[in-house]
Chains A and B, each alone.
Chain A
Amino acid sequence: MKSSLLWLPLFAVPLVLHNDVVLTILVFTFILGILAVSFNLIFGYTGQLSLFHAAAFGIGAYATELAMAHLGVSFWIGMMIAVLVVLTISLLVGTICFRFKLKEFYFAIVTFAFSEMARLVILNWNSFTNGSLGINLTAKPSIWLPGGAIAIEGTRIWYYLSLVVLILTVTVCARVVHSWMGRCFAAIRLNDELADTLGIDVFRYKLISFLIGNAGAAVAGAFYAFYLGYIEPAYLSIDQSLAIVAMVLLGGRDTVAGPVIGALVLTALPHVINFSAETRILVYGLILVFTILVMPKGITGAIARLARAV
């Protein structure tokens, strides 16, 4: 209850702050936060280093747009179709990986391989995805309110929309983590052979965690694409997957909302400091290296330790 109140000040930010750059950074933070929080269910809570997350994100973005363009459905229906598509593909990938009991590094590599195959398909399916040129998204999603539909345009509406979806994601993940299912996830993370002997269906719970996480990524992909107004195959790149891992580690993988802080730092820092492109990459690299070495439990972990010390 206490933690849910922490979100409230965020609703006031656009009222007091009229700086569009800051709001834009926050919108990206929230959307990438959805991505990082959902990934953390698989990685932080179930202990599986999936590199399929960028693929789920990218397929979510593409499927939403393609459903809208070819089936003539609205953004929201398109997003649901995208979630279904991602769930189907994840079911296939997850079943293969978990049925064959792939773990740790090997799981990471096989999920990476599937992710890369998805990227290659999108990159080369020119007639459908416009290949490496990507697609400019002209349609604007809209929401229905009493009194008619309003188009989601402008930073302010996007701010509230992405904030609400982020809070929903965090709430859902928190409920999952604190449920009986979440305990099963933790048991699998700590020792999956032991979990198995205790009668936990390791295959099933790994798969459920993988599916929920990837569904979150698909939602994030749809929002990200339509906020940015552009999709390209780079959504599915290994760099994107690794950036998600970095956000989670930076924010801290032991809390549900921690990854959002990681998303904030990695989104905001390169913009806060006015550097040339080369220096920006340098700063990004240095942040990664030194957080890991200095704060192995991430920013939330470091704050918690500081709080205990005081």
Chain B
Amino acid sequence: MLQLVVGQLLNGVIIGTLYGIVALGVTLTFGITGIVNFALGAFMAIGAYTGWYLTDVVGIAYPVAVPLAVLVAALFGLLADQTLFRFTRNNLINGLIVSIGLISVIQSVLLMVWTTTPKNMHYVLPGVINLDLFIVPKMKGVVFLVLLVVILATYAALTRTWAGRAAYAYAQAPEAAKLMGVRTELLQTGVVVYSTALAGLGGALYASLYSLEVSMGASYILKGVEAAILAGIGSVMGSLVGGIVLGVTEAIGSIFFPQAYRDAYGLVFLVLILLFRPSGLFVRGR
């Protein structure tokens, strides 16, 4: 029993960091551009398919393929920002619909290029880490560490660099930030592109663990949004913790309650948080 619980706990943590990386993109985009980019899941699919294609078909080493996949996702992010999201700043509903339209566009293009057949990447890093009480596949450990480092680095960049503080300033008082010389247009584009790059990274790492389908991003964007709200919009470390809380809730919940309702446990938790602590777990009152 203990072994099962610990095993599920670890799975929950790893899936949770994937939720967390998407949640980070959601939080940043919402804070700076006022929209929720629901297409982040589709950008995750772009990253995943590009990563798989470069590794398995082209034959580039996986550690090189991942940054390339991130770059590709970011370039598409830039394209989407300049053609679409530039026009939906601070308009939640238009942004929502445009990003949903974008999901259809990206999915159909992926289908045209790579068909509906699920893609499985060859094992990048076989083998397991055996820690007596539980066993973790090495690759899962690597994915967890990479995502953790990226989220921590983002946190450091946001709190320590000029651009990061500019972003915080903008989120608090857009006009004042502008008067202080923050180039708001550039900042907004930068955040949209960065969030798509994060999603692309999540996708490229996902490709090494699970089978790829065009619609794979759908559940991750929903969980990402849930995690971001759980933590409180605007909290960077919160999105990581929110993602992990959600992942663990689902994993542990499905031991003790019917597996079929797995997706519901997180939702119940989310509703309770929103009702009794609407600003989220990690943001002080509003």
| Interface residues in chain A, defined as those with a beta carbon under 8 Å from any beta carbon in chain B | 49, 96, 100, 102, 104-106, 109-110, 113-114, 116-117, 120, 123-124, 238, 242, 245-246, 249, 278-282, 284-289, 292-293, 296
B93 lies within 8 A of A49 (CB): yes
A281 lies within 8 A of B260 (CB): no
A117 lies within 8 A of B267 (CB): yes
A281 nearest in chain B by CB position:
B108
What residues of chain A lie closer than 8 Å to B92, measured between beta carbons? Answer: 104-105
A292 lies within 8 A of B229 (CB): no
A73 to chain B, nearest CB (A): 30
A292 lies within 8 A of B111 (CB): no
A281 to B116, CA, bound (A): 14
B113 to chain A, nearest CB (A): 10
What residues of chain A lie closer than 8 Å to B97, measured between beta carbons? Answer: 242, 245-246, 249, 288-289, 292
B101 nearest in chain A by CB position:
A288
A285 lies within 8 A of B263 (CB): no
A47 to chain B, nearest CB (A): 10
B88 lies within 8 A of A282 (CB): no
A293 lies within 8 A of B84 (CB): yes
Beyond A285-B101, A286-B105, A292-B101, whether A238 also contacts B222 by CB under 8 A is yes
What residues of chain A lie closer than 8 Å to B105, measured between beta carbons? Answer: 281-282, 285-286, 289
What residues of chain A lie closer than 8 Å to B104, measured between beta carbons? Answer: 281-282, 284-285, 288
* B222-238, CB < 8 A from A: 222, 225-226, 229
| Interface residues in chain B, defined as those with a beta carbon under 8 Å from any beta carbon in chain A | 36, 84, 87-88, 92-94, 96-98, 100-105, 107-109, 111-112, 222, 225-226, 229, 258, 260-261, 263-264, 267-268, 270-271, 274-275, 278
A114 to B275, CA, bound (A): 13
Contact of A116 among B102, B111, B229, B263 (CB under 8 A): B263
B264 lies within 8 A of A120 (CB): yes
A171 to chain B, nearest CB (A): 27
- A-B CB contact pairs (8 Å), 10 listed: A102-B274, A105-B92, A113-B267, A242-B100, A245-B96, A278-B108, A285-B104, A285-B105, A293-B84, A293-B98
A-B residue pairs, 9 tightest by C-beta? A285-B104, A288-B101, A289-B101, A282-B108, A285-B105, A281-B108, A124-B260, A113-B267, A285-B101
B108 lies within 8 A of A293 (CB): no
A106 lies within 8 A of B278 (CB): yes
B100 lies within 8 A of A278 (CB): no
What residues of chain A lie closer than 8 Å to B103, measured between beta carbons? Answer: 285
Q: Total number of A-B contacts with CB less than 8 angstroms? A: 103
A278 lies within 8 A of B98 (CB): no
A278 lies within 8 A of B112 (CB): yes
A124 to B261, CA, bound (A): 8
A284 to B105, CA, bound (A): 8
A110 to B105, CA, bound (A): 27
What residues of chain A lie closer than 8 Å to B111, measured between beta carbons? Answer: 278, 281
A205 to B9, CA, bound (A): 45
A95 to chain B, nearest CB (A): 12
B5 to chain A, nearest CB (A): 23
A109 lies within 8 A of B274 (CB): yes
A279 to B104, CA, bound (A): 10
Contact of A289 among B36, B102, B226, B260 (CB under 8 A): B102
A296 lies within 8 A of B94 (CB): yes
A289 to B85, CA, bound (A): 10
A116 lies within 8 A of B264 (CB): yes
A245 to B94, CA, bound (A): 10
What residues of chain A lie closer than 8 Å to B278, measured between beta carbons? Answer: 100, 102, 106
A230 to B92, CA, bound (A): 35
What residues of chain A lie closer than 8 Å to B274, measured between beta carbons? Answer: 100, 102, 106, 109-110
Contact of B270 among A109, A280, A284 (CB under 8 A): A109
What residues of chain B lie closer than 8 Å to A110, measured between beta carbons? Answer: 270-271, 274-275
Contact of B109 among A246, A282, A284 (CB under 8 A): A282
